[in-house]
Amino acid sequence: MLLGALVLAAAGCSSTPHDPAGAARIVPWDGAIPAQLRVAATAPAPRCQASQLRVVGDGFNFSAALSGGTGEATVRNAGTRACQLTGRPDVRIVGAVPAPPQRQDPLPAQPPAFPTVAPPDTALVALPPGAAATLDVDWRNWCVPRASGKPVPPRAIRLTLPDGAGRLEVGYNALPGCDTPGAASTIGVHPFEPAPLASTPPWTSTALRAAIAPLPGAKQLRGARGDTVRFAVELRNPSAAPISFDRCPLIVEILAPAGHPEVHQLNCRAATRLPAKGSVRFEMRIQVPPDAPAGSNGLFWELDPTGAQAPETVSRIMVTGRAAP
């Protein structure tokens, strides 16, 4: 999703419910952590050894960026015990003849891109057997020095794990271009992150509609930096059959441009079902980041992010410049 572009659209429009009078009851907020994202408090496991990790698929899949490419690789704990996979590895391009000089730059952790849902970083302190982690790398400026004969491309991207835990050689799908001849090839390395949740079957096959609205008594969604903003989302069922909440979908929301995705679960036990040709309103909450810009911020909300990824609705929150006393 081009979230930055959609922020501009959200600043100029706000979704409204289809039938305000017909959806007076609001299902209360349930702030419980979804079961899929709960990480039990535990002591750090021993470091993951390269011998117990397996690369998923073909390795790094690079996509073009303004300069070079950005790629992600996934590794899985193929061992029988939990292991720790925190921090970032040393990354080096190996096997090229001739090869340009290389420089590694540490990059900060980055939250999942909306609407991706991933467990918290604490999951990597004791990565269970079968669980996976991802590594993002920004690769720039591959300028092959002049040499006689045909150059040999790199054999692999080598990951040297922290604390002497061994090395992995990972495949790749593309080489970055040469932007500055004679300069080093730079490899920006983010820390390991938990792999996103696996896809699930869609919660419902019905094309639901969604709309954001203020709670009763409020005319506008607004909040100060650091505040929690309460609002309502109305889900409307246009079909002639009711929809049960026996299975309970996740929701993901973000306040852009400064926020990070927040993942919650509908209060399905209190909703029971979505009536035919009817609607249900749910109370929602979202945190205003301390560095959110004052003025209109885009509010993005999506149901069932691991399944149908729909419906999605967009509104705005007016952010004041300082936190409430």
What is the reported pTM? 0.86
pLDDT, position 18 = 45
Question: Where are the extended beta strands (E) located within 15-146?
Answer: 26-27, 53-64, 69-77, 90-94, 102-106, 132-140
Domains, the chain: 3-31+199-320 (2.60.40.10), 50-194 (no CATH)
Tens digits of pLDDT across the chain (325 residues): 445 544 444 544 445 444 443 445 899 999 999 999 999 888 999 999 999 999 999 999 999 888 899 999 999 999 999 999 999 999 999 999 999 999 999 999 988 999 999 999 999 999 999 999 999 999 999 999 987 788 999 999 999 999 999 999 999 999 999 999 999 999 999 999 999 999 999 999 999 999 999 999 888 999 999 999 999 999 999 999 999 999 999 999 999 999 999 999 999 999 989 999 999 999 999 999 999 999 999 999 999 999 999 999 999 999 997 654 4
Q: List b or e across 65-98, with b for residues whose CB sees 16 or more CB atoms inside 10 angstroms.
A: eeebbbbbbbbbbebeebbbbbebbebbbeebee
Q: d(Cα 62, Cα 138) in Å, to the nearest integer?
A: 9
pLDDT, position 253 = 97
pLDDT, position 111 = 87
Q: d(Cα 284, Cα 307) in Å, to the nearest integer?
A: 20
Q: d(Cα 84, Cα 131) in Å, to the nearest integer?
A: 11
Q: Which amino acid is at 107?
A: L
Question: Where are the extended beta strands (E) located within the chain?
Answer: 26-27, 53-64, 69-77, 90-94, 102-106, 132-140, 156-160, 167-170, 185-189, 193-194, 209-213, 222-224, 228-236, 243-244, 250-256, 262-265, 273-274, 279-287, 295-303, 312-320
CB-based contact 267:209 (threshold 8 Å): no
What secondary structure letter does DSSP report for 84? B
pLDDT, position 234 = 97
Q: What angle do CA 198, 200, 206 make, to 5 degrees?
A: 150
CB-based contact 75:54 (threshold 8 Å): yes
